[in-house]
Amino acid sequence: MTTHVTTDQIQQLFSRHRLRCTRQRRALYEALISTRSHPTADQLFQKVAHSEQDISLATVYNTLEAFCRAGLAQKLLGRGGSTRYDAATHNHLHLRDAQSDTVTDVPDSIGERILKNIPQHILTDLEKELGFRITQLQIELVGQFADTKDAANLAVNRAMEASSS
């Protein structure tokens, strides 16, 4: 994502979503929107702990839950019960490497083509048959990179991105 937002923009966003804007929440949200690595709560804690020395891991978990309830983030369940977080809440696709459990976004230009090609009548039939209203599409493509160097490069790039912000 690597999005830069001002403190005022975050305060306005939190206000619109009825969240108190504390220093710790702001730092955590800035950390989340600055990465495309879909970090775990632990990874976010490590990222903000140097600037927010009084933040606890419990505060990070509670804040991430509040972000998810408010629609500012979404949870991505990983293997072994781990949860990753994504500040991009629009309909988009993810790639999950089955070997490393690394998650990355499918480029929007490709993801949008896939989403647009899901026949609406199938979604409507699904809703009618199951009595379920679809409000969001989350598609995760699971596999592995053809070249393990690609997976290693992705992991290194994500780690560098996480440590540099």
Query: Using one digit for the tens of pLDDT, what is the confidence trace for 49-81?
Result: 999 999 999 999 999 999 999 999 999 987 778
pLDDT > 50? residue 145? yes
pLDDT > 90? residue 12? yes
Mean pLDDT of 102-123: 92
Q: Which amino acid is at 46?
A: Q
- Contact residues for 82 (Cβ-Cβ < 8 A; gap 6+): 40, 101
Joined tokens for residue 47: 């990222």
Cα separation, 99 vs 46, in Å, equals 24
pLDDT at residue 100, as a whole number: 83
- Characterize the bridge pairing of strands 103-105 and 92-97: antiparallel
The 3-state DSSP class for residue 127 equals helix
Cα separation, 36 vs 85, in Å, equals 10
Cα separation, 25 vs 73, in Å, equals 13
DSSP character at residue 81: G
Query: What is the residue extent of each domain of the chain?
Result: 7-164
Output the average pLDDT for the chain. Answer: 87
pLDDT band, residue 162 (cuts 50/70/90):
very low
pLDDT > 80? residue 159? no
Cα separation, 144 vs 120, in Å, equals 30
pLDDT at residue 157, as a whole number: 54
The CATH number of 7-164, from 2.20.25.90, 3.40.50.1010, 1.10.3720.10, 1.10.10.10, is: 1.10.10.10
The 3-state DSSP class for residue 29 equals helix
Q: Which pTM value belongs to this model?
A: 0.78
